[in-house]
A and B are shown apart, each in its own frame.
Chain A
Amino acid sequence: MAIQVLMPALSPTMEKGNLSKWLKKEGDTIKSGDVIAEIETDKATMEVEATDEGTLGKILIPEGTNDVAVNTPIATILADGEDASAAASAPAPAKQEKAAESAPPAAEAKSAPALKDEATAPAAPTASIQPDPEIPEGTEMVTMTIREALRDAMAEEMRRDEDVFIMGEEVAEYQGAYKVTQNLLQEFGARRVIDTPITEHGFAGVGVGAAMSGLKPIVEFMTFNFAMQAIDQIINSAAKTLYMSGGQMTCQIVFRGPNGAAARVGAQHSQDYSAWYSQIPGLKVVAPYSAADYKGLLKSAIRDPNPVIFLENEMLYGHSGEVPKLDDYIVPIGKAKVARVGKDVTLISWSNGMTYALKAADELAKEGIEAEVIDLRTLRPLDTDTIIESVKKTSRAVTVEEGWQQSGVGAEIAARIMEHAFDYLDAPVARVSGKDVPMPYAANLEKLALPSVADVVAAAKAVCYR
């Protein structure tokens, strides 16, 4: 029976890719290990090796096809003695359906066209999202992915200021482990785009030392999980030195990289550090959701004279959004945004948590509950005013975070609401969060461990007594 070659998943978060090139043609003999095609994901171009032997029967997806979903049959391989007609009768592998079913929960977040017909609304800007008052009316918008927005922000700041440079693992020649630093090496050269050894504690310290002498480093962590090795330098050296020196020693530095859960990468690669860093005086902590905010806030972070923790989210890197086409688009640190206006309940979140909050707002609207959604964007300094203003209007609040509940950001928000708007509350503040367990690997358990749209909807209804 003919064997189907399926579009492979080449990373934990890949859902589709472009079939850029066939290196074998129909009728060619295939040996196990032969490179048969090249596939381009949003992170890299990868070679596809055959794992079966035989003859390339039929090419089902021609080269140059974009957005081929993972597990789509792309070709058939015929065993000895089979002819091409066998290809037509090749059964679709059961695996395909199963894989789709077990797709990580964060797949809900995707605004990919393939998912448009699903009941859930796309996460990309929709009509319900408020226009940003910081963008002048009539500004031309360009659609770009969040990874491109980050890259453009860094490139613009590096063009603007010779003292800005980037260092980290695989940021230069590899073009970024998540392709965020693509083409920076080509434009700025090896002096300013620096590959480090795998040595987080050491290079964080080197970055802080360089910042103390007046340079403006961007230190990329491949993930913030690895920054735990460097957290002493971030907190004891970067955050505290200005104070300990009576204002003499500045440390203008950005620590950035993906934070929180990706998909199916287990407990040691899935932690959300929002609460950890947001506790530290001396640090600013930024965690945007939209593409425009990623760009405008990273530019602000690079210019900020303080150490800034810039928390990204791997699940969002491939998301596209509209970014203002301005020469110098800046979003100020420390200002939350009302992402959706409502009057019945306030949902407060940031980063990928906004995915759940916005979708929950759509669901709630169907049941006649108008939720106001606040995107914090910055966790330190926390924009208490925007939260309180909203809660005074709605009298109900739900916080949504992927991190753990104990001593979490939601706990802090709940406390501030209690302190500043106690008399306005009609119900206790509810917290939706990651479950109190290390992140499990199994797809079903991982889904259970993360917050869900249903969790947010249930919490919102509970505080509305419905």
Chain B
Amino acid sequence: MAAPKKSVAPAGQATSNGATPSSPPDFTRDQEMHALRDMLLIRRFEEKAGQLYGMGAIGGFCHLYIGQEAIVVGMQMALKDGDQVITGYRDHGHMLACGMDAKGVMAELTGRKGGYSKGKGGSMHMFSREKNFYGGHGIVGAQVSLGTGLAFANRYRGNDLVSLAYFGDGASNQGQVYESFNMAELWKLPVIYIIENNRYAMGTSVTRSSAQTDFSKRGISFNIPGEQVDGMDVRAVKAAGDRAVAWCRAGKGPFILEMQTYRYRGHSMSDPAKYRTREEVDKVRHDQDPIEQVRNRLLAADVTEQDLKAIDAEVRDIVNASADFAQQDPEPDASELYTDVYR
């Protein structure tokens, strides 16, 4: 198998965020507006979830996606109907990007009857067969083998669908990731491994956990091509996604995309994030925020503040409605305790 022209290592010098500097193709105005709307929805949803967590309405673990929105939104723009998505525990953004209803997601966070899993899954365990979202998995790295299995099924059925298996820089050190890489390349499975490198596996920075910190190279010994992508620029994500999807649909096997990103919040709601400085977080927020990038580009073109405010208002309405629903919806009936154990 010939690897694509581009090398697994990024071309050119890395920026402060380690991303490739070459600027990606421009979005159309519709694409910009779409990306802005979906990223804003995730941001506002996650802010609301954090608020509800603080009020005690959401229990357990709650891992927010704030800062990483461009990845799922950009990748989703590269997919077609039927392509599957699977991820780990930081999954709210993926679900919203897949088109799942904000009410159902928020109600699952509050453990209510109307949640996607009837309140029985929680933040880390939600699914939607209809939207081809396969979870929502709480065991770090498990989704990589499972996502490879989704690709296996596509291959078995002889369709041209692609599966996206998202995982973090932390999960990248799990053994089953490499077991999956090996089988995926051996059997030429149409799976895109998307490594969301937000620089910290809980409190352990990439440099303290990884011998090879260029995650696009993690597939080299399996002959899987990889790319480093500026995961804060939704256009760069979409462009890389297009290349990876084309590679997979053409039957050439798996592809690795290292998305260089940053999470603004702690690992979970209970993480004081003492392992990094306030300045580091503020600098990324100020210089690279994925939403601000799109907003600024739109304003520099012919879009008015008024147009953008309409999007803000639409998104806030959706999020507020989801929060209201999630707090008013009843808890699951006690009889649900024993349902769904077996079919």
Contact = CB atoms under 8 A, between A and B. Distances in A.
B182 A202 contact: yes
Given A165-B156, A248-B128, A249-B127, A212 B342 contact: no
A233 to B, nearest CB: 6
Interface in B84-123: 84, 86, 115-122
Interface residues of A, number: 39
B147 interface: yes
Contacts of A215: 153, 156
A121 interface: no
A237 B137 contact: yes
B152 interface: yes
Interface in B285-343: 339-343
Interface stretch (A138-146, A193-201, A395-403, A408-416): A193-201
B52 interface: no
Contacts of A232: 139, 142
A205 B146 contact: yes
Nearest to A247: B340
Contacts of B182: 197, 199, 202
Contacts of A249: 127, 129, 134-135
Contact of A208 (B146, B156, B341, B343): B146
Contacts of A250: 343
Contacts of A197: 179, 182-183, 186
A237 B86 CA distance: 13
B332 to A, nearest CB: 9
A247 B339 contact: yes
Interface in B140-177: 142, 144-154, 156, 175-176
A241 B138 CA distance: 11
B153 A214 contact: yes
A191 interface: yes
Interface in A71-91: none
A213 interface: yes
Interface string A243-255: 1111111100000
A202 B183 contact: yes
A191 B129 contact: no
Given A245-B121, A247-B339, A209 B128 contact: no
Interface in A186-225: 191, 196-197, 199, 201-215
Contacts of A236: 138-139, 142
B268 interface: no
A281 interface: yes
A209 B134 CA distance: 9
A241 B149 CA distance: 15
Interface string B75-87: 0000000001010
A54 interface: no
B152 to A, nearest CB: 5
Given A191-B156, A201-B175, A242-B340, A247 B118 contact: yes
| Residue of B121, B145, B183 with most chain A CB atoms under a 10 A cut-off | B145
Nearest to B113: A246
B126 interface: yes
Contacts of B199: none
Interface in A386-424: none
A257 interface: no
B125 interface: yes
B120 A209 contact: no
A242 B156 contact: no
Contacts of B122: 244
A359 to B, nearest CB: 35
A246 B120 CA distance: 6
Given A209-B150, A246-B117, A248-B117, A233 B145 contact: yes
Given A201-B179, A202-B176, A212 B150 contact: yes
Contacts of A205: 142, 144-146, 148-149, 176, 179-180
Contacts of A131: none
A210 B183 contact: no
A75 B84 CA distance: 63
A305 interface: yes
A246 B156 contact: no
A209 B342 contact: no
Contact of B127 (A165, A248, A306): A248
A244 B125 contact: yes
Contacts of A165: 156
A209 B179 contact: no
A198 to B, nearest CB: 9
Interface string A31-49: 0000000000000000000
Given A206-B148, A206-B183, A306-B342, A244 B117 contact: yes
A282 interface: yes
A305 B149 CA distance: 18
A284 B145 CA distance: 23
Given A197-B186, A215-B156, A242-B340, A209 B145 contact: yes
| Residue of B84, B135, B137 with most chain A CB atoms under a 10 A cut-off | B135
A230 B341 CA distance: 21
A232 B137 CA distance: 12
Nearest to B181: A202
A233 B180 contact: no
Contact of A202 (B129, B139, B179): B179
A197 B183 CA distance: 8
B180 A202 contact: yes
A281 B342 CA distance: 8
B126 A245 contact: yes
Nearest to B145: A205
| Residue of A196, A246, A281 with most chain B CB atoms under a 10 A cut-off | A246
A210 B149 contact: yes
B149 A207 contact: yes
Nearest to A213: B153
B142 A233 contact: yes
B152 A306 contact: no
Given A197-B183, A206-B152, A244 B342 contact: no
Interface in A229-277: 232-233, 236-237, 241-250
Nearest to B116: A246
A202 B145 contact: yes
Given A213-B150, A233-B142, A203 B183 contact: yes
A184 to B, nearest CB: 16
B180 to A, nearest CB: 5
A266 B343 CA distance: 38
B341 A282 contact: yes
Nearest to A198: B179
B194 to A, nearest CB: 16
A222 B84 CA distance: 31
Nearest to A249: B127
Ordered nearest first, which 4 A-B pairs have the shortest CB separation?
A209-B149, A205-B145, A202-B179, A246-B118
Given A210-B149, A233-B142, A249-B134, 13 more contacts: A201-B175, A206-B152, A208-B146, A209-B148, A210-B150, A212-B134, A214-B153, A241-B127, A242-B341, A243-B120, A244-B122, A244-B127, A246-B121
21 contacts: A201-B176, A205-B144, A207-B149, A208-B145, A209-B146, A210-B149, A210-B152, A213-B153, A215-B153, A215-B156, A232-B142, A241-B125, A242-B340, A244-B125, A245-B121, A245-B127, A246-B340, A247-B340, A248-B129, A281-B341, A306-B342
